[in-house]
């Protein structure tokens, strides 16, 4: 009897989604289905990517993208987001997919890049259902204020400070697009059970 196929990795591994279901059940399936739902926003992304669900570093981080993994970019989702609800997971996926898309199209992937700002604004009608207008660096402006150390040797009488500009989308909201831009009481969707270990 030929048992070699029992131990063949490729026999088991028909899709990343199947692997994710084996590891994380409904949460794994939802993550991959969310990827598929948003794929049309990001032309050129592969049909599927490796998606890891686990405890992310620093706890505060809801998702991570590693664009330089040797096989493909991979997305890591914090297991804690699944308890928050389906819409939250969707939002985190949209966010991580933007990092991947920027990386795969050779653009700057960071939240403070021009490319990030442009894409977040362009995609907001489809993702958030409304226009978003934000310009990099527009949320703070320089003002000249009296120098509290005026009078000390070598200190000028005034100094320049950056202050927030009211009524402008702050950088921290763009950096956490799109979930930070949902209305505060937007329904988060149903929680999904997700095993951590
Ligand atoms: Zn990010």
Cα–ligand 1 centroid distance for 193 (angstroms): 24
pLDDT band at 192 (very low <50, low <70, confident <90, very high): very high
Cα–ligand 1 centroid distance for 117 (angstroms): 12
Give me the pLDDT at residue 71, please: 63
Return the minimum-mean-pLDDT range out of 53-57, 60-64, 110-114: 60-64
Cα–ligand 1 centroid distance for 4 (angstroms): 42
Cα–ligand 1 centroid distance for 10 (angstroms): 32
Tens digits of residue pLDDT in 121-160: 999 999 999 999 888 888 888 889 999 999 999 999 999 9
Cα–ligand 1 centroid distance for 109 (angstroms): 8
In sequence order, what DSSP letters do the residues of the chain get, joined into one string? ---GGGG-HHHH-S-HHHHHHHHHHHHHHHHHHHHHHHGGGSTT--S---EEEEPPTTTT--EEEETT-SSS-EEEEETTHHHH-HHHHHHHHHHHHHHHHHHHTT---STTSHHHHHHHHHHHHHHHSS-----TTTTEEEEEEE-TTTTSTT--SEEEEEEEPTTS--HHHHHTTTGGGS-TT------------
Give me the mean pLDDT over the 111-123 stretch: 95
Cα–ligand 1 centroid distance for 120 (angstroms): 11
Cα–ligand 1 centroid distance for 155 (angstroms): 40
Give me the pLDDT at residue 58, please: 55
Give me the pLDDT at residue 111, please: 92
pTM of the predicted model as reported, rounded to 2 decimal places: 0.82
Cα–ligand 1 centroid distance for 113 (angstroms): 11
pLDDT tops 90 at residue 25: yes
Give me the mean pLDDT over the 172-179 stretch: 93
Cα–ligand 1 centroid distance for 187 (angstroms): 22
């Amino acid at each position: 009897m030929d048992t070699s196929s029992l131990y063949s990795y490729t026999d088991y591994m028909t899709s990343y989604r199947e692997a994710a279901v084996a590891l994380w059940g409904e949460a794994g399936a939802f993550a991959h289905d969310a990827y598929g739902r948003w794929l049309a926003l990001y032309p050129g992304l592969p049909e599927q990517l490796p998606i890891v669900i686990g405890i992310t570093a620093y706890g505060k981080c809801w998702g991570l993208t590693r664009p330089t993994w040797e096989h493909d970019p991979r997305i890591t989702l914090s297991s804690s987001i699944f308890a928050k609800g389906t819409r939250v997971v969707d939002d985190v996926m949209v966010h991580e997919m933007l990092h991947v898309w920027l990386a795969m199209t050779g653009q700057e992937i960071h939240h403070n890049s021009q490319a990030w700002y442009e894409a977040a604004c362009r995609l907001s009608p489809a993702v958030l259902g409304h226009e978003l207008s934000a310009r990099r660096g527009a949320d703070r402006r320089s003002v000249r204020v009296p120098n509290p150390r005026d009078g000390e040797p070598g200190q000028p009488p005034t100094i320049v400070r950056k202050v927030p500009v009211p009524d402008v989308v702050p950088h921290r909201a763009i950096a956490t697009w799109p979930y930070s831009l949902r209305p505060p009481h937007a329904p988060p969707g149903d929680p999904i059970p997700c095993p951590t270990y």
